[in-house]
Structure 1
Amino acid sequence: MIEVPPGRVTLSDRRTRRSWQVDVAPCLLGAFPVTQGLYAEVTGGRPASSGATRGDRLPVEGVSWWDAVRFCNALSVRDGHAPAYRVDGDGTADGPERIAWDESANGYRLPTEAEWEHACRAGTTGPHYAPLDEIAWYRANSEERLHEVGGRRPNAWGLYDMLGNVWDWCWDVYDPEVYGTYRVLRGGGWFDEPWSIRASARRRSHPTYRVDDVGFRVARSGVPGRASSYPGVMY
Protein backbone atom coordinates (compact mmCIF):
# COMPACT_ATOMS: atom_id res chain seq x y z
CA MET A 1 0.00 0.00 0.00
CA ILE A 2 1.18 3.51 -0.84
CA GLU A 3 0.45 6.58 1.25
CA VAL A 4 -1.54 9.15 -0.73
CA PRO A 5 -1.44 12.65 0.80
CA PRO A 6 -4.50 14.88 1.11
CA GLY A 7 -5.33 17.32 -1.63
CA ARG A 8 -7.96 18.71 -3.97
CA VAL A 9 -8.79 17.37 -7.41
CA THR A 10 -10.99 18.67 -10.22
CA LEU A 11 -13.10 15.94 -11.81
CA SER A 12 -14.69 16.40 -15.23
CA ASP A 13 -17.10 14.54 -17.49
CA ARG A 14 -16.92 14.87 -21.27
CA ARG A 15 -20.49 13.69 -21.80
CA THR A 16 -22.10 16.38 -19.63
CA ARG A 17 -19.28 18.94 -20.01
CA ARG A 18 -19.40 19.36 -16.26
CA SER A 19 -16.51 19.74 -13.79
CA TRP A 20 -16.41 19.78 -10.01
CA GLN A 21 -13.82 19.97 -7.24
CA VAL A 22 -13.40 17.40 -4.47
CA ASP A 23 -11.26 17.58 -1.34
CA VAL A 24 -9.44 14.28 -0.79
CA ALA A 25 -8.38 13.02 2.65
CA PRO A 26 -5.18 11.02 3.10
CA CYS A 27 -5.54 7.33 2.32
CA LEU A 28 -3.60 4.23 1.36
CA LEU A 29 -3.84 2.81 -2.15
CA GLY A 30 -2.52 -0.43 -3.59
CA ALA A 31 0.75 0.07 -5.44
CA PHE A 32 -0.54 -2.38 -8.06
CA PRO A 33 -3.91 -3.65 -9.26
CA VAL A 34 -5.01 -6.78 -7.40
CA THR A 35 -3.25 -9.72 -9.03
CA GLN A 36 -4.63 -13.11 -9.96
CA GLY A 37 -2.33 -14.65 -7.36
CA LEU A 38 -3.59 -12.48 -4.50
CA TYR A 39 -7.20 -12.93 -5.55
CA ALA A 40 -6.79 -16.72 -5.53
CA GLU A 41 -4.99 -16.63 -2.18
CA VAL A 42 -7.79 -14.65 -0.52
CA THR A 43 -10.89 -16.12 -2.18
CA GLY A 44 -9.82 -19.50 -3.52
CA GLY A 45 -11.08 -18.46 -6.95
CA ARG A 46 -9.21 -17.48 -10.08
CA PRO A 47 -11.59 -15.68 -12.43
CA ALA A 48 -10.44 -15.05 -15.98
CA SER A 49 -12.25 -14.30 -19.21
CA SER A 50 -12.39 -16.92 -21.93
CA GLY A 51 -9.01 -17.22 -23.62
CA ALA A 52 -7.33 -14.80 -21.23
CA THR A 53 -3.77 -15.35 -20.07
CA ARG A 54 -3.34 -16.64 -16.52
CA GLY A 55 -0.50 -15.88 -14.15
CA ASP A 56 -0.02 -14.91 -10.51
CA ARG A 57 1.53 -11.53 -11.40
CA LEU A 58 -1.12 -10.62 -13.96
CA PRO A 59 -3.92 -8.32 -12.83
CA VAL A 60 -7.11 -10.15 -12.01
CA GLU A 61 -9.81 -9.45 -14.62
CA GLY A 62 -13.26 -10.77 -15.39
CA VAL A 63 -14.36 -9.47 -11.98
CA SER A 64 -17.54 -7.49 -11.37
CA TRP A 65 -17.86 -4.53 -9.02
CA TRP A 66 -19.65 -6.90 -6.63
CA ASP A 67 -16.74 -9.34 -6.84
CA ALA A 68 -14.35 -6.50 -5.97
CA VAL A 69 -16.44 -5.43 -2.96
CA ARG A 70 -16.56 -8.98 -1.61
CA PHE A 71 -12.81 -9.37 -2.12
CA CYS A 72 -12.19 -6.21 -0.10
CA ASN A 73 -14.19 -7.60 2.81
CA ALA A 74 -12.49 -11.00 2.61
CA LEU A 75 -9.03 -9.37 2.58
CA SER A 76 -10.01 -7.23 5.57
CA VAL A 77 -11.06 -10.29 7.56
CA ARG A 78 -7.86 -12.12 6.61
CA ASP A 79 -5.70 -9.21 7.77
CA GLY A 80 -7.66 -8.52 10.97
CA HIS A 81 -9.34 -5.28 9.90
CA ALA A 82 -12.97 -4.24 10.19
CA PRO A 83 -14.73 -4.86 6.84
CA ALA A 84 -15.62 -1.61 5.10
CA TYR A 85 -18.82 -2.89 3.46
CA ARG A 86 -22.11 -4.23 4.70
CA VAL A 87 -23.43 -6.43 1.91
CA ASP A 88 -27.01 -7.62 1.55
CA GLY A 89 -27.65 -10.02 -1.32
CA ASP A 90 -25.56 -11.86 -3.87
CA GLY A 91 -24.91 -9.07 -6.35
CA THR A 92 -27.26 -10.41 -9.01
CA ALA A 93 -29.78 -7.66 -8.37
CA ASP A 94 -28.87 -4.05 -7.75
CA GLY A 95 -30.22 -1.39 -5.46
CA PRO A 96 -28.67 1.26 -3.21
CA GLU A 97 -30.03 -0.50 -0.10
CA ARG A 98 -28.07 -3.68 -0.83
CA ILE A 99 -24.62 -2.37 0.03
CA ALA A 100 -23.34 0.25 2.46
CA TRP A 101 -19.86 1.62 3.09
CA ASP A 102 -18.98 2.00 6.78
CA GLU A 103 -16.59 4.94 6.52
CA SER A 104 -15.43 4.42 10.12
CA ALA A 105 -14.07 0.94 9.31
CA ASN A 106 -10.33 0.46 8.80
CA GLY A 107 -10.65 -2.36 6.27
CA TYR A 108 -9.91 -2.50 2.57
CA ARG A 109 -12.27 -0.90 0.08
CA LEU A 110 -12.47 0.45 -3.44
CA PRO A 111 -11.12 3.97 -3.94
CA THR A 112 -13.50 6.78 -4.69
CA GLU A 113 -12.94 8.22 -8.14
CA ALA A 114 -11.66 11.46 -6.57
CA GLU A 115 -9.08 9.47 -4.60
CA TRP A 116 -8.21 7.55 -7.74
CA GLU A 117 -7.63 10.61 -9.92
CA HIS A 118 -5.75 12.49 -7.20
CA ALA A 119 -3.48 9.46 -6.72
CA CYS A 120 -3.07 8.91 -10.46
CA ARG A 121 -2.01 12.49 -11.10
CA ALA A 122 0.47 12.57 -8.18
CA GLY A 123 0.71 16.33 -8.43
CA THR A 124 0.69 16.55 -12.24
CA THR A 125 -1.93 18.38 -14.30
CA GLY A 126 -1.72 16.88 -17.80
CA PRO A 127 -3.52 13.87 -19.30
CA HIS A 128 -0.65 11.53 -18.26
CA TYR A 129 1.85 11.65 -15.41
CA ALA A 130 4.71 10.79 -17.84
CA PRO A 131 5.06 9.78 -21.53
CA LEU A 132 2.36 7.19 -22.22
CA ASP A 133 4.63 4.47 -23.61
CA GLU A 134 6.71 4.60 -20.44
CA ILE A 135 3.83 4.17 -18.00
CA ALA A 136 0.99 2.25 -19.64
CA TRP A 137 0.10 -0.90 -21.56
CA TYR A 138 -2.45 0.13 -24.17
CA ARG A 139 -3.47 -0.88 -27.68
CA ALA A 140 -0.37 0.42 -29.43
CA ASN A 141 2.15 -1.47 -27.28
CA SER A 142 0.31 -4.26 -25.41
CA GLU A 143 0.15 -6.80 -28.26
CA GLU A 144 -3.54 -6.84 -27.30
CA ARG A 145 -3.05 -8.79 -24.09
CA LEU A 146 -2.61 -8.37 -20.35
CA HIS A 147 0.82 -7.76 -18.86
CA GLU A 148 2.23 -8.40 -15.41
CA VAL A 149 1.77 -5.60 -12.92
CA GLY A 150 4.68 -3.25 -12.32
CA GLY A 151 6.16 -3.59 -15.79
CA ARG A 152 5.97 0.08 -16.58
CA ARG A 153 7.29 3.20 -14.84
CA PRO A 154 5.36 4.24 -11.68
CA ASN A 155 4.13 7.74 -11.00
CA ALA A 156 5.89 10.10 -8.58
CA TRP A 157 4.13 8.54 -5.57
CA GLY A 158 5.12 4.97 -6.43
CA LEU A 159 1.84 3.77 -7.96
CA TYR A 160 2.07 1.42 -10.95
CA ASP A 161 -0.39 0.76 -13.78
CA MET A 162 -2.68 3.64 -12.87
CA LEU A 163 -3.12 4.05 -16.62
CA GLY A 164 -3.50 1.10 -18.98
CA ASN A 165 -3.42 -2.69 -18.51
CA VAL A 166 -6.83 -2.93 -16.76
CA TRP A 167 -9.52 -0.43 -15.85
CA ASP A 168 -10.06 0.04 -12.11
CA TRP A 169 -13.49 -0.23 -10.51
CA CYS A 170 -14.22 2.72 -8.19
CA TRP A 171 -16.81 3.00 -5.44
CA ASP A 172 -18.84 5.80 -7.01
CA VAL A 173 -22.12 5.64 -8.88
CA TYR A 174 -21.54 7.22 -12.29
CA ASP A 175 -24.76 9.19 -12.83
CA PRO A 176 -27.73 7.76 -10.90
CA GLU A 177 -30.34 9.89 -12.64
CA VAL A 178 -29.35 8.61 -16.09
CA TYR A 179 -27.60 5.27 -15.52
CA GLY A 180 -29.02 4.03 -12.21
CA THR A 181 -26.47 1.95 -10.27
CA TYR A 182 -23.76 1.92 -12.97
CA ARG A 183 -20.36 2.35 -11.30
CA VAL A 184 -17.30 4.35 -12.33
CA LEU A 185 -14.31 2.79 -14.09
CA ARG A 186 -10.97 4.60 -14.32
CA GLY A 187 -7.58 4.29 -15.97
CA GLY A 188 -8.03 2.59 -19.33
CA GLY A 189 -7.05 -0.91 -20.41
CA TRP A 190 -4.75 -2.88 -22.67
CA PHE A 191 -7.12 -2.66 -25.67
CA ASP A 192 -7.84 1.08 -25.46
CA GLU A 193 -6.68 3.87 -27.74
CA PRO A 194 -4.67 6.78 -26.24
CA TRP A 195 -7.71 9.05 -25.83
CA SER A 196 -9.04 6.61 -23.18
CA ILE A 197 -5.72 6.36 -21.35
CA ARG A 198 -5.95 9.67 -19.51
CA ALA A 199 -6.04 10.65 -15.84
CA SER A 200 -9.41 12.35 -16.33
CA ALA A 201 -11.15 9.71 -18.49
CA ARG A 202 -14.32 8.24 -16.94
CA ARG A 203 -16.16 5.11 -18.02
CA ARG A 204 -19.22 3.41 -16.57
CA SER A 205 -20.60 -0.10 -16.30
CA HIS A 206 -23.22 -2.15 -14.51
CA PRO A 207 -21.89 -3.55 -11.20
CA THR A 208 -22.43 -7.13 -12.40
CA TYR A 209 -20.34 -6.58 -15.58
CA ARG A 210 -17.28 -8.80 -16.13
CA VAL A 211 -14.82 -8.40 -19.01
CA ASP A 212 -11.16 -9.05 -19.79
CA ASP A 213 -9.84 -5.51 -19.34
CA VAL A 214 -11.48 -4.56 -16.03
CA GLY A 215 -9.89 -5.18 -12.63
CA PHE A 216 -9.45 -3.14 -9.45
CA ARG A 217 -7.06 -2.03 -6.74
CA VAL A 218 -7.74 -1.62 -3.03
CA ALA A 219 -7.66 1.39 -0.75
CA ARG A 220 -7.84 2.01 2.99
CA SER A 221 -8.99 5.15 4.76
CA GLY A 222 -6.55 7.25 6.75
CA VAL A 223 -2.88 6.54 7.11
CA PRO A 224 -2.34 3.92 9.84
CA GLY A 225 0.99 3.59 11.56
CA ARG A 226 3.65 6.25 11.70
CA ALA A 227 3.12 9.71 10.29
CA SER A 228 5.09 10.71 7.23
CA SER A 229 6.20 14.13 6.06
CA TYR A 230 6.25 13.12 2.41
CA PRO A 231 4.09 11.07 0.03
CA GLY A 232 4.97 7.75 -1.48
CA VAL A 233 5.71 5.74 1.67
CA MET A 234 5.11 2.02 1.08
CA TYR A 235 3.53 -0.10 3.82
Structure 2
Amino acid sequence: MVAIPAGTVTLSDRRTQRSWPVEVAPFQLAAVPVTQAEYEQVTGQRSSSGDRRPVDSVSWWDALRYCNARSIQDGLTPAYRIDAENVDWDIDADGYRLPTEAEWEHACRAGSTGPRYGELDEIAWYRGNSAEHMHDVGGKRPNAWGLYDMLGNAWDWCWDIYDAEIYGSYRVLRGGGWFDEHWSCRASVRRRSHPSVRLDDVGFRVARTPRS
Protein backbone atom coordinates (compact mmCIF):
# COMPACT_ATOMS: atom_id res chain seq x y z
CA MET A 1 0.00 0.00 0.00
CA VAL A 2 1.22 3.47 -0.94
CA ALA A 3 0.51 6.51 1.25
CA ILE A 4 -1.31 9.12 -0.83
CA PRO A 5 -1.12 12.71 0.46
CA ALA A 6 -4.08 15.03 0.82
CA GLY A 7 -4.91 17.32 -2.07
CA THR A 8 -7.56 18.77 -4.34
CA VAL A 9 -8.70 17.30 -7.65
CA THR A 10 -11.14 18.71 -10.19
CA LEU A 11 -13.71 16.24 -11.52
CA SER A 12 -15.80 16.87 -14.61
CA ASP A 13 -18.96 15.51 -16.20
CA ARG A 14 -19.11 15.54 -19.99
CA ARG A 15 -22.93 15.23 -20.16
CA THR A 16 -23.64 18.22 -17.94
CA GLN A 17 -20.47 20.16 -18.88
CA ARG A 18 -19.91 20.66 -15.16
CA SER A 19 -16.61 20.65 -13.25
CA TRP A 20 -16.14 20.73 -9.50
CA PRO A 21 -13.21 20.58 -7.07
CA VAL A 22 -13.01 17.79 -4.47
CA GLU A 23 -10.83 17.81 -1.37
CA VAL A 24 -9.11 14.45 -0.87
CA ALA A 25 -7.93 13.40 2.59
CA PRO A 26 -4.80 11.25 3.05
CA PHE A 27 -5.40 7.57 2.29
CA GLN A 28 -3.58 4.46 1.14
CA LEU A 29 -3.83 2.82 -2.28
CA ALA A 30 -2.39 -0.45 -3.54
CA ALA A 31 0.62 0.01 -5.80
CA VAL A 32 -0.88 -2.45 -8.31
CA PRO A 33 -4.35 -3.84 -9.07
CA VAL A 34 -5.51 -6.96 -7.22
CA THR A 35 -3.94 -9.91 -9.04
CA GLN A 36 -5.39 -13.28 -9.98
CA ALA A 37 -3.29 -14.93 -7.24
CA GLU A 38 -4.37 -12.44 -4.57
CA TYR A 39 -8.02 -12.80 -5.49
CA GLU A 40 -7.81 -16.59 -5.43
CA GLN A 41 -6.03 -16.57 -2.06
CA VAL A 42 -8.94 -14.65 -0.51
CA THR A 43 -11.94 -16.02 -2.41
CA GLY A 44 -10.80 -19.39 -3.78
CA GLN A 45 -11.73 -18.19 -7.28
CA ARG A 46 -9.96 -16.72 -10.28
CA SER A 47 -11.07 -15.58 -13.72
CA SER A 48 -8.10 -16.69 -15.85
CA SER A 49 -4.49 -17.87 -15.81
CA GLY A 50 -1.48 -15.78 -14.87
CA ASP A 51 -0.89 -15.19 -11.16
CA ARG A 52 0.49 -11.68 -11.68
CA ARG A 53 -2.16 -10.48 -14.08
CA PRO A 54 -4.94 -8.23 -12.77
CA VAL A 55 -8.02 -10.15 -11.74
CA ASP A 56 -10.72 -9.43 -14.31
CA SER A 57 -14.35 -10.34 -14.94
CA VAL A 58 -15.26 -9.28 -11.41
CA SER A 59 -18.32 -7.20 -10.67
CA TRP A 60 -18.44 -4.17 -8.38
CA TRP A 61 -20.19 -6.37 -5.83
CA ASP A 62 -17.43 -9.00 -6.16
CA ALA A 63 -14.87 -6.29 -5.44
CA LEU A 64 -16.70 -5.17 -2.28
CA ARG A 65 -16.96 -8.74 -0.99
CA TYR A 66 -13.26 -9.29 -1.66
CA CYS A 67 -12.44 -6.13 0.31
CA ASN A 68 -14.43 -7.34 3.31
CA ALA A 69 -13.03 -10.87 3.19
CA ARG A 70 -9.44 -9.64 2.93
CA SER A 71 -10.04 -7.19 5.77
CA ILE A 72 -11.21 -10.04 8.02
CA GLN A 73 -8.21 -12.16 7.03
CA ASP A 74 -5.89 -9.31 7.98
CA GLY A 75 -7.61 -8.51 11.26
CA LEU A 76 -9.09 -5.22 10.05
CA THR A 77 -12.61 -3.82 10.36
CA PRO A 78 -14.58 -4.43 7.14
CA ALA A 79 -15.50 -1.21 5.36
CA TYR A 80 -18.83 -2.42 3.95
CA ARG A 81 -22.09 -3.58 5.47
CA ILE A 82 -23.74 -5.58 2.69
CA ASP A 83 -27.39 -6.68 2.87
CA ALA A 84 -28.60 -8.29 -0.36
CA GLU A 85 -28.46 -5.45 -2.91
CA ASN A 86 -27.86 -2.72 -0.35
CA VAL A 87 -24.51 -1.55 0.95
CA ASP A 88 -23.31 1.01 3.48
CA TRP A 89 -19.72 2.21 3.70
CA ASP A 90 -18.37 2.62 7.23
CA ILE A 91 -16.03 5.54 6.60
CA ASP A 92 -14.36 5.02 10.01
CA ALA A 93 -13.37 1.40 9.26
CA ASP A 94 -9.69 0.64 8.64
CA GLY A 95 -10.34 -2.28 6.29
CA TYR A 96 -9.84 -2.50 2.55
CA ARG A 97 -12.23 -0.69 0.24
CA LEU A 98 -12.56 0.72 -3.26
CA PRO A 99 -11.19 4.22 -3.83
CA THR A 100 -13.62 7.02 -4.51
CA GLU A 101 -13.50 8.52 -7.97
CA ALA A 102 -11.80 11.64 -6.61
CA GLU A 103 -9.22 9.57 -4.73
CA TRP A 104 -8.52 7.55 -7.85
CA GLU A 105 -7.91 10.58 -10.08
CA HIS A 106 -5.84 12.37 -7.43
CA ALA A 107 -3.67 9.25 -7.04
CA CYS A 108 -3.41 8.71 -10.80
CA ARG A 109 -2.24 12.25 -11.46
CA ALA A 110 0.34 12.18 -8.63
CA GLY A 111 0.77 15.92 -8.90
CA SER A 112 0.76 16.03 -12.70
CA THR A 113 -1.68 18.24 -14.59
CA GLY A 114 -1.76 16.80 -18.12
CA PRO A 115 -3.93 13.99 -19.49
CA ARG A 116 -1.35 11.38 -18.41
CA TYR A 117 1.53 11.09 -15.94
CA GLY A 118 3.97 10.06 -18.69
CA GLU A 119 4.33 8.88 -22.26
CA LEU A 120 1.57 6.35 -22.89
CA ASP A 121 3.75 3.54 -24.24
CA GLU A 122 6.01 3.81 -21.19
CA ILE A 123 3.26 3.72 -18.57
CA ALA A 124 0.35 1.69 -19.97
CA TRP A 125 -0.79 -1.42 -21.82
CA TYR A 126 -3.44 -0.34 -24.34
CA ARG A 127 -4.59 -1.44 -27.78
CA GLY A 128 -1.52 0.03 -29.45
CA ASN A 129 0.98 -2.18 -27.57
CA SER A 130 -0.89 -4.91 -25.65
CA ALA A 131 -1.26 -7.45 -28.48
CA GLU A 132 -4.88 -7.43 -27.30
CA HIS A 133 -4.43 -9.24 -24.00
CA MET A 134 -3.86 -8.50 -20.32
CA HIS A 135 -0.31 -8.26 -18.99
CA ASP A 136 1.32 -8.82 -15.60
CA VAL A 137 1.02 -5.91 -13.18
CA GLY A 138 3.99 -3.61 -12.67
CA GLY A 139 5.47 -4.07 -16.14
CA LYS A 140 5.32 -0.40 -17.07
CA ARG A 141 6.77 2.71 -15.45
CA PRO A 142 4.94 3.90 -12.30
CA ASN A 143 3.76 7.42 -11.64
CA ALA A 144 5.57 9.82 -9.30
CA TRP A 145 3.94 8.25 -6.24
CA GLY A 146 4.93 4.68 -7.11
CA LEU A 147 1.59 3.48 -8.47
CA TYR A 148 1.66 1.12 -11.44
CA ASP A 149 -0.96 0.51 -14.14
CA MET A 150 -3.16 3.43 -13.16
CA LEU A 151 -3.73 3.78 -16.89
CA GLY A 152 -4.22 0.81 -19.20
CA ASN A 153 -4.21 -2.96 -18.64
CA ALA A 154 -7.47 -3.10 -16.64
CA TRP A 155 -10.14 -0.57 -15.76
CA ASP A 156 -10.57 0.02 -12.01
CA TRP A 157 -13.93 -0.06 -10.25
CA CYS A 158 -14.52 2.98 -8.02
CA TRP A 159 -17.01 3.39 -5.19
CA ASP A 160 -19.07 6.18 -6.77
CA ILE A 161 -22.33 6.11 -8.69
CA TYR A 162 -21.74 7.45 -12.21
CA ASP A 163 -24.87 9.55 -12.87
CA ALA A 164 -27.93 8.50 -10.89
CA GLU A 165 -30.30 10.73 -12.86
CA ILE A 166 -29.56 9.00 -16.16
CA TYR A 167 -27.90 5.66 -15.33
CA GLY A 168 -29.35 4.72 -11.95
CA SER A 169 -27.04 2.44 -9.96
CA TYR A 170 -24.24 2.27 -12.55
CA ARG A 171 -20.80 2.69 -10.95
CA VAL A 172 -17.69 4.52 -12.11
CA LEU A 173 -14.79 2.84 -13.90
CA ARG A 174 -11.46 4.59 -14.35
CA GLY A 175 -8.12 4.12 -16.10
CA GLY A 176 -8.63 2.45 -19.46
CA GLY A 177 -7.75 -1.13 -20.39
CA TRP A 178 -5.74 -3.37 -22.67
CA PHE A 179 -8.27 -3.14 -25.52
CA ASP A 180 -8.81 0.63 -25.40
CA GLU A 181 -7.53 3.23 -27.81
CA HIS A 182 -5.14 5.88 -26.53
CA TRP A 183 -7.89 8.45 -25.93
CA SER A 184 -9.49 6.24 -23.27
CA CYS A 185 -6.26 5.97 -21.26
CA ARG A 186 -6.29 9.41 -19.65
CA ALA A 187 -6.56 10.51 -16.04
CA SER A 188 -9.92 12.24 -16.53
CA VAL A 189 -11.76 9.62 -18.62
CA ARG A 190 -14.83 8.06 -17.00
CA ARG A 191 -16.61 4.85 -17.95
CA ARG A 192 -19.67 3.27 -16.36
CA SER A 193 -21.13 -0.18 -15.84
CA HIS A 194 -23.87 -1.88 -13.86
CA PRO A 195 -22.49 -3.08 -10.52
CA SER A 196 -23.42 -6.71 -11.26
CA VAL A 197 -21.69 -6.88 -14.65
CA ARG A 198 -18.40 -8.77 -15.14
CA LEU A 199 -16.15 -7.67 -18.02
CA ASP A 200 -12.83 -9.08 -19.22
CA ASP A 201 -11.09 -5.69 -19.11
CA VAL A 202 -12.29 -4.62 -15.65
CA GLY A 203 -10.62 -5.25 -12.30
CA PHE A 204 -9.93 -3.15 -9.21
CA ARG A 205 -7.34 -2.05 -6.67
CA VAL A 206 -7.85 -1.61 -2.96
CA ALA A 207 -7.63 1.47 -0.79
CA ARG A 208 -7.57 1.98 2.96
CA THR A 209 -8.26 4.84 5.33
CA PRO A 210 -5.38 4.98 7.83
CA ARG A 211 -6.17 5.09 11.52
CA SER A 212 -6.00 8.60 12.91
Q: Tell me whether the two structures share a fold, i.e. TM-score over 0.5.
A: yes
Match of residue 67 from structure 1:
62
Match of residue 191 from structure 1:
179
Instruction: Quote how far apart the aligned CAs of 1:17 are.
Output: 1.5
Match of residue 72 from structure 2:
77
Give me the identity figure in percent: 70
Contact 1:25 1:222 in 2 (8 A): no
Indicate whether 1:168 and 2:164 are aligned: no
Contact 2:39 2:66 in 1 (8 A): yes
Within-5 A mapping of 1:1-235: 1-48=1-48, 54-89=49-84, 94=85, 98-222=86-210
2:177 and 2:17 map into 1 onto residues whose CA distance is 23
SS in 1 for 2:66: helix
Contact 1:26 1:223 in 2 (8 A): no
Contact 2:96 2:207 in 1 (8 A): yes
2:183 and 2:128 map into 1 onto residues whose CA distance is 12
Instruction: Quote how far apart the aligned CAs of 1:15 are.
Output: 2.6
1:27 maps to amino acid: F
> For each residue in 1:155-192, what CA deviation from the matched residue of structure 2 results, as whole angstroms up to 9, or x when unmatched?
00000000000000000000111111100000000000
2:179 and 2:136 map into 1 onto residues whose CA distance is 15
Q: How many residues align?
A: 212
Gaps of 5+ in 2: none
1:23 maps to amino acid: E
SS in 2 for 1:172: strand
SS in 2 for 1:118: helix
2:18 and 2:180 map into 1 onto residues whose CA distance is 24
Q: TM-score, normalised by structure 1?
A: 0.89
SS in 2 for 1:83: coil
Gaps of 5+ in 1: 49-53, 225-235
1:158 maps to amino acid: G
Instruction: Quote how far apart the aligned CAs of 1:14 are.
Output: 2.0
SS in 2 for 1:9: strand
2:204 and 2:193 map into 1 onto residues whose CA distance is 13
Contact 2:152 2:175 in 1 (8 A): yes
Instruction: Quote how far apart the aligned CAs of 1:223 are.
Output: 6.1
Runs of 4+ in 1 over 4 A off after TM superposition: none
Contact 1:3 1:28 in 2 (8 A): yes
Q: 1:76 to 1:30 in 2, by over 3 A?
A: same
1:85 maps to amino acid: Y
2:13 and 2:133 map into 1 onto residues whose CA distance is 28
Instruction: Quote how far apart the aligned CAs of 1:47 are.
Output: 2.3
1:191 and 1:15 map into 2 onto residues whose CA distance is 24
1:149 maps to amino acid: V
Single out whichever of 203-212 and 15-24 deviates more from structure 2. Answer: 15-24
